[in-house]
Amino acid sequence: MSSHAELPRTAVGIAAAVRAGEVRAVDVLEAHLAEIDRREHQVHAFNLVVAEQARQAAARVDAEVAAGRDPGPLAGVPVALKDNMCTRGVPTTCSSKILEGWKPPYDATVVAKLAAAGAVAVGKTNLDEFAMGSSTENSAFGPTRNPHDLGRVPGGSSGGSAAAVAAGFAAVSLGSDTGGSIRQPAALCGVVGVKPTYGYVSRYGLIAFASSLDQIGPFSHDVRDAALLLDVIGGHDPMDSTSIPLAHPSLVDVLDRGVEGLRVGRIVDLPEGADPDVQERLEAAFDALRAAGAAIVDVEVPAFGYALTAYYLIAPAEASSNLARFDGVRFGMRVDAADTNAMYMATRSAGFGEEVQRRIMLGTYALSAGYYDACYGRALKVRRLIHDDFERAYRHADVLLTPASPSVAFPFGAKGDNPLAMYLCDLYTIPTNLAGHPAMSVPFGTGADGLPVGVQVLAGTLGEVAMFRAGAALERAMDAARGVSA
Amino acid sequence: MPERITPTDVAKVARLARLELTPAQLERAAGQLDGMLAHFADMDALDLSDVQPMTQPYPLQNVFRDDVVVEGLDRDEVLAAAPVAEDHRFRVPPIVGLD
Amino acid sequence: MSESQHDLINGWELVVGLEVHVELATATKLFSASANRFGDAPNTHIDPVTLGLPGALPVLNRQAVELAMRIGAALNCTIQPCTFHRKNYFYPDMPKAYQISQYDQPLNIDGHLDLPDGTRIGVERAHLEEDTGKSTHMGGTGGRIHGSDYSLIDFNRAGVPLVEIVSRPDIRTAEQARQYVTELRAVLLAVEASDAKMEEGSMRVDANVSVHRPGTPFGTRCEIKNVNSVRSLGRAIEYEARRQIDLLETGDTIRQETRHWDENDGRTHTLRSKEDADDYRYFLEPDLVPLVPSPEWIAAVEAALPLLPGARRARLASAAGVVAHSEAVMSVVERGQDDYVLAVAAAGGDIGRALVHVKEAFADEPATPRVPPADLAALTTLEVSGALTATQAKAVLAEIVANGGGDPAAIAAAKGFEAMDTGALEAMVDQAIADQPDAWAKFCAGEGKAMGALVGAVMKLSQGKADGKLVTALLNAKKG
Ligand SMILES: [Mg+2]
Ligand SMILES: [Zn+2]
């Protein structure tokens, strides 16, 4: 980020400087646009960069400041949006041909909240088509590359949003997490990524993958920015019936509380699968929190290992229904045919990629007559077991630590032709979505080939405060180790 | 978990989902789905007889709107984004074999 | 109902269950804030939810629930905690390619509706769901779906709140089916849940029809759609029963299928065979949360129910000493004029006569006629006392109704309807006998028609003021 080294790098820093009139939003934006010019052709984090709209938004922020008004807590902060969040008049594609060029006639709630807080949207980021994947290789518009190693994946499905922050194209970004789609790419790109409690952030305007699992959350350079972003986008939304009707405590305010007396759980029956370098960083994380005054306790989550099965029946089932609306009638792509039924078939077969079609079929199968009970029905019961196991664990621990990803960023094509191999990337993140709990990935040093490793901090329902206290403590420990003053 | 999933099963499912697969694609999909279902059979080991299905991550009930009209979308903006529109309506090919 | 329909058709019994969809009279849609209005320009009541745009989420309309609960209470249903499911199927006027409906836990269950003649028809369930858009089939032959060149879709109706009322298969005749729908409509209007207009489609009836030999299991049923009036419902059921009986009697079997009623040729036609049974893949709608009406809410809805048509008929009938499904009671209650008739009685009037007068003369009057109850009460009193003949009373009432009220005695006097004393009448009878001796002779000889001439003569002499019955009585008395 040489070209704007002198400018504040974090959202907290940028907003403070812009609100104080020390830095102009337009300069902050231009510095980020310069980074995009310099490296986006290699990284391909974006499906679309809206430079002109961003310049106008930044100018409005500066005008507000000049007029003595406060543009808001994200004044002049360049933010990137995963391309599955509706932005009025701005193409929103889910990285799918079936939505190519579609301009939503409305804004997602999070998009409106960011704008109201003074943030400056710079573009729409790449993803695995309809958020189905863990590498961003399943994008109809080409893969995103990991800024740390262009020969490797950024993770997924929110790979573009993770890469955009890691590459300095935006100070912060938003992703969506259905089975790990924020935390896993955050880990692979060396940034902070948070999946909040289900219902913490409105889903209105988020193009659904699996409605009972999807949550929007932030990517950022540090834990404080993630807290700031969640404070802005969180909260009750009457447009989302599953939105939690509670006021959430400010997370920014709890970061300096430390972890004295916090109970940090180690899952003794955690499924094998993490590479040694990742495992080593996890142990270091436990040590760091112990050193910071936390108590490490052992907990059991016996059903943890069944999460993958439950998830890959529940998520595709919901997706098969959520994606049925892409029928070529009201919006998006249509492949014409002699009758409506033939038009449906032609449109959906041409418009959806292979992985999306595979999951639609899997989900349709799981819900269809004769298989519902054995597939979807049983999966819902396994989901209950997993939830209850976690609830039991959280009687003994305030947070749990696991790897965010079993491995560091892997090379393109590494998972080959076997979908299951890719699905296993989410081994440690999926249970959280099934339970509806919050979890975050915090960069905690490097592993093989000097690539970033993320440690996952998990907490119970609305356990964001404890989770952020632990996340901030891990970050302080890393900064100290690196000799950075926190 | 059901034993095996055949290309015939996949064809039936694809039809339900309004997807058109070539015989080769059906074969390939059947193989992959069969592999997944074999893996998913791990849960058959669990006794779930007295476990309640979990359908809501955060239990809420009685979430309502008041019955008050709010200005909707602009018809022209919406129809401009439609694949085919005519006479202020969405146009589709003949509807046969559907009704 | 006509006797013939009571009878089995060559030993076959008809079995009918009805599925009635009614659009609720809300201001907005079931899950979004666009207007719920019929007949506006196409696609003028649309929003992201109505169009099933990506990212849109449903939020339940409280008033729709209130109205659905009213229907449940009026149909004697148990109102229970319930959930919403997705019914997945592709159709161009179904925006999300799934309908949000209720499945194994509907809002209202186990109710019943009593027909005017007392027949009780079970109501299995009355659940909430969303309506679809409207397709217009262009080209081809006259708006028919088959042979059309293409279709145009208007989503104004999409998402409009519906309650689907599913009867038990308790209906045994086409006439009962008509009465069920008519009575149900009266109930819906009474509780102001819907305008229930079959012609505008705010009330839509599908009939599940089968036939069987009494005492044997029910036969295979066919679902009849596109029935757009109470009259065609009867026709469609009669045709379908006939069709099934003919098939069975020629050794054929019935295929379970959906059939389309064609008003023009008066037949039902195969629409969709259910052999490849629809696989709707119902599952709990994850974008909505359970609906759990509190006991207080349910009690408030039940307490606020108006007196329903059946109860109003019973009330009027017992007051008037007639049967509840008598023509007068039916039509007076249908017009909502039963309170008025009771008011006339309360004002000292004769309720029997009042009921007949209101039925005969108040057809064009509002539920609360302009004529003060006291005036009609006074009129019936004059009749009872014999001061006015039935003929005279009709004439006086006509004027009262025309003027929106008036003193019947004064109007009668103005018309010269003063009652004549028996003495004067007897004199006129003697006069008539004297004038027509041969007619009198024939009458005494038992020639009934001779009486006509004598009565006519008396009427002439009295300028029509004489009471025909009285004259006859006098003549018979004199004949001895
Ligand atoms: Mg039905
Ligand atoms: Zn229905």
For residue C33, which residues of chain B lie inside 8 Å, CB to CB?
Answer: 65, 68-70, 72
Confidence of residue C2 (pLDDT cuts 50, 70, 90): very low
Instruction: Tell me the average pLDDT of chain A.
Output: 97
pLDDT in tens, C217-255: 999 999 999 899 999 999 999 999 999 999 999 999 999
Residue A90 CA from chain centroid, whole number: 21
Q: Which of A95, A96, A139, A157 is catalytic?
A: A157
pLDDT in tens, C325-371: 999 999 999 999 999 999 999 999 999 999 999 999 999 999 999 99
Q: What local confidence, expressed as pLDDT, does residue C79 receive?
A: 98
Contact B64 C61 (CB under 8 A): yes
Q: What local confidence, expressed as pLDDT, does residue C3 receive?
A: 38
CA-based end-to-end distance of chain C = 46
Instruction: Tell me the average pLDDT of chain C.
Output: 92
SS3 A52: helix
Centre of ligand 2 from the C-alpha of residue C227, in Å: 15
* C-alpha gyration radius of chain C: 30
Q: Which ligand is nearest to the CA of C102?
A: 2
Q: Is the pLDDT of residue C143 over 80?
A: no
Q: What local confidence, expressed as pLDDT, does residue B83 receive?
A: 97
Query: In chain C, which residue's Cα lies nearest the Cα of A244?
Result: C289
Please give the Cα distance from B17 to A326 (Å, whole number): 11
Centre of ligand 1 from the C-alpha of residue C168, in Å: 13
C330 and C313 in contact (C-beta within 8 Å)?
Answer: yes
One-letter-per-residue 3-state SS of chain C: CCHHHHCCECCEEEEEEEEEEEECCCCECCCCCCECCCCCCCCCCCCCCCCCCCCCCCCEEHHHHHHHHHHHHHCCCEECCECCEEEECCCCCCCCCEEEECCCCCCEEEEEEECCCCCEEEEEEEEEEECCCEEEEECCCCCCCCCCCEEEEECCCCCCEEEEEEECCCECCHHHHHHHHHHHHHHHHHCCCCCCCCCCCCEEEEEEEEEECCCCCCCCCEEEEEECCHHHHHHHHHHHHHHHHHHHHCCCCCCCEEEEEECCCCEEEEEEECCCCCCCCCEECCCCCCECCCHHHHHHHHHCCCCCHHHHHHHHHHHHCCCCCCHHHHHHHHCCCHHHHHHHHHCCCCHHHHHHHHHHHCCCCCCCCCCCHHHHHHHHHHHHHCCCCHHHHHHHHHHHHHHCCCCHHHHHHHCCCCCCCHHHHHHHHHHHHHHCHHHHHHHHCCCCCHHHHHHHHHHHHCCCCCCHHHHHHHHHHHHC
Q: What local confidence, expressed as pLDDT, does residue C428 receive?
A: 86
Contact A321 C281 (CB under 8 A): yes
The stretch C76-82 carries a mean pLDDT of 98
Burial class (CB in 10 A: 0-12, 13-18, 19+), C336: middle
Centre of ligand 1 from the C-alpha of residue A306, in Å: 38
Q: What local confidence, expressed as pLDDT, does residue A486 receive?
A: 44
Is the reported ipTM for this assembly greater than 0.90? yes
Q: How many CB atoms lie under 10 A from the CB of residue A113?
A: 21
Tokens of C102: 């209720």
Tokens of B8: 């015939």
Please give the Cα distance from C92 to C135 (Å, whole number): 8
Q: Which of A139, A181, A202, A405 is catalytic?
A: A181
Q: Does B17 touch chain C (CB under 8 A)?
A: no
Residues of chain A with pLDDT under 50: 1-4, 486
Confidence of residue C467 (pLDDT cuts 50, 70, 90): confident
Strand order in the sheet with C108-114: C78-79, C108-114, C120-130, C161-167, C13-23, C203-212, C222-227, C257-262, C267-273
Identify whether A157 is a catalytic site residue.
Answer: yes
Contact C283 A105 (CB under 8 A): no
Residues 20-39 of C with CB under 8 A from B: 26-28, 33-35
Please give the Cα distance from A307 to A362 (Å, whole number): 17
Q: Which ligand is nearest to the CA of C127?
A: 2
The stretch C383-405 carries a mean pLDDT of 89
- A93 vs C142, residue with greater confidence: A93
Q: What local confidence, expressed as pLDDT, does residue C478 receive?
A: 85
Q: What is the reported pTM?
A: 0.93
Q: What local confidence, expressed as pLDDT, does residue A3 receive?
A: 45
Q: What local confidence, expressed as pLDDT, does residue C419 receive?
A: 62
Report the residue count for chain B. 99
Q: How many CB atoms lie under 10 A from the CB of residue A272?
A: 8
Strand C257-262, strand C267-273: pairing: antiparallel
Q: Which ligand is nearest to the CA of C223?
A: 1
Confidence of residue C447 (pLDDT cuts 50, 70, 90): confident
Q: What local confidence, expressed as pLDDT, does residue A2 receive?
A: 40
Q: Spell out the residues 6+ positions from residue A41 whose beta carbon is closer than 8 angstroms to its own.
A: none
Query: In chain B, which residue's Cα lies nearest the Cα of A240?
Result: B63
Listed range (A114-118, C269-273, C313-317) with the worst mean pLDDT: C269-273
Contact A211 C92 (CB under 8 A): no
Q: What local confidence, expressed as pLDDT, does residue C277 receive?
A: 54
Contact C92 B72 (CB under 8 A): no
Listed range (B81-95, C58-72, C436-450) with the worst mean pLDDT: C436-450
Cα dihedral: C6, C10, C12, C14 (round 10)? -40
Name the neighbours of B, counting chains with at least 3 Cβ pairs within 8 A.
Answer: A, C
Q: Is the pLDDT of residue C466 over 80?
A: no
Residue B11 CA from chain centroid, whole number: 15
Q: Which residue has the tokens 């025909």?
A: C468
Minimal CA–CA distance to C200: which of C375, C29, C40? Answer: C40
SS3 A379: helix
Q: What local confidence, expressed as pLDDT, does residue C272 receive?
A: 66
Centre of ligand 1 from the C-alpha of residue C19, in Å: 6
Q: Is the pLDDT of residue B97 over 70?
A: no
Please give the Cα distance from C292 to C301 (Å, whole number): 14
Q: Which residues of A touch C (CB under 8 A)?
A: 85-86, 92, 94, 99, 102, 104-106, 108, 203-208, 210-212, 238-242, 317-318, 320-321, 324-327, 329-331, 340-341, 344, 364, 367-369, 372, 376
The stretch B34-62 carries a mean pLDDT of 95
Q: Is the pLDDT of residue C139 over 90?
A: no
Q: What local confidence, expressed as pLDDT, does residue C420 receive?
A: 64
Q: What local confidence, expressed as pLDDT, does residue C480 receive?
A: 72
